[in-house]
Amino acid sequence: MSEADSRTALLVLDVFNTFQFPGGDELFQQAQEAIGKIRLLRERFHAREAPVIFVNDNFDRWQDSFDELVDYVAGSGAPGRTMVEALCPHGSDLKLLKPRHSAFFETALPSLLDHFDVRRIVVTGLAGDSCVLCTVLDAHVRGITPIVPADTTASQTIERTTRALAHLRETFGTETPLSERVDPH
């Protein structure tokens, strides 16, 4: 199958977070601008019936399902509740928990992408210089084309996000357009 015949999926990484860690307040503040852009991009993917996949850290809550984790985050305080209210998955959205930084590491994501004939992923979420970066690198290694809309990711500082996006562009040729320029075909 050629890339032209394959589908594009939207990945939303680690948006459900308690932000209760050193630097969490800063990450939450930086994430505020990305929330609305992620939501609009998700609506465009829904309109095209393209896969939307939430992949979230399990926070060592190994017994929890994805929905139980979202409930836990919503009850953790204002930052977590804000993220859940803004980006809670819809019924058609797919949901995976991950134990580490990359959405590919020890998850069903590779099988899920194969099932939907996905060869291109749009990676959004938190943090740009950690989980987004690791996921994009793993996609690249697997021959999956990653795109990271610059306005849909955040790190603890703007500088950290800027450096991560520059690294992805310079080293791997990753496109980092504004989200309004992303085609969910």
Q: Is 13 helix (H, G, I), strand (E, B) or coil?
A: strand
pLDDT of 68 above 80 = yes
In this predicted model, what pLDDT tens digit does every residue of 106-124 receive, in sequence order?
Answer: 999 999 999 999 999 999 9
pLDDT of 41 above 70 = yes
pLDDT of 99 above 60 = yes
- Number of domains observed in the structure of the chain: 1
Beta strands at 118-126 and 52-57: parallel, antiparallel or unpaired: unpaired
Q: Is 91 exposed, middle or buried (0-12, 13-18, 19+ CB in 10 A)?
A: exposed
| Predicted confidence band of residue 6 (pLDDT cuts 50, 70, 90) | low
Helices (H), 20-101: 24-47, 66-74, 78-87
Query: Over the chain, what is the mean pLDDT?
Result: 94
| Predicted confidence band of residue 85 (pLDDT cuts 50, 70, 90) | very high
Domain that holds residue 13: 3-181
| Predicted confidence band of residue 3 (pLDDT cuts 50, 70, 90) | very low
What CATH number has the domain bearing residue 73?
3.40.50.850
